[in-house]
Amino acid sequence: MIEGVGIDVVEISRFQKSIDQFGERFISKVFTQKECEYAESKVYQVQHLAARFAVKEAVAKALAKGWSGGFRWKDVEVENDDAGKPNVVLYGHVKDILAGSRVFVSISHSENVVVAFAIIEKL
């Protein structure tokens, strides 16, 4: 049974402005070390960080708990399997909330825009 659906769209240039304005403080607040290392291994690092940001937002929307519901950025970590398919690893309060559920995500991007979609399925 589907518990929640979320989608997010990120303009890469706007995301770059956030990085330029807030720098490492922003990056370390939002992304795990593993996510940063993944992006650093890519030519277009900002695009990959923006994609992970969009996934986190999509998951938060699918949870429908709001920011006061205990969602923390680093409780959702985006990784790719060997085929490149994105998956999420959950930690902390989000992991507790979603115990007994599966989260499916999809990411797509162009040169300028990233879109992410998340579905939460109750097992």
pTM of the predicted model as reported, rounded to 2 decimal places = 0.94
Question: Domains of the chain: which residue ranges?
Answer: 2-122
Chain segment 34-70, per-residue pLDDT in tens: 999 999 999 999 999 999 999 999 999 999 876 666 7
Cα 59 to its chain centre, rounded Å, is 7
Higher-scoring residue by pLDDT: 118, 111 = 118
In the predicted model, is pLDDT for residue 76 greater than 70? yes
In the predicted model, is pLDDT for residue 107 greater than 90? yes
Chain segment 15-37, per-residue pLDDT in tens: 999 999 999 999 999 999 999 99
CATH topology of domain 2-122: Ribosomal Protein L22; Chain A (3.90.470)
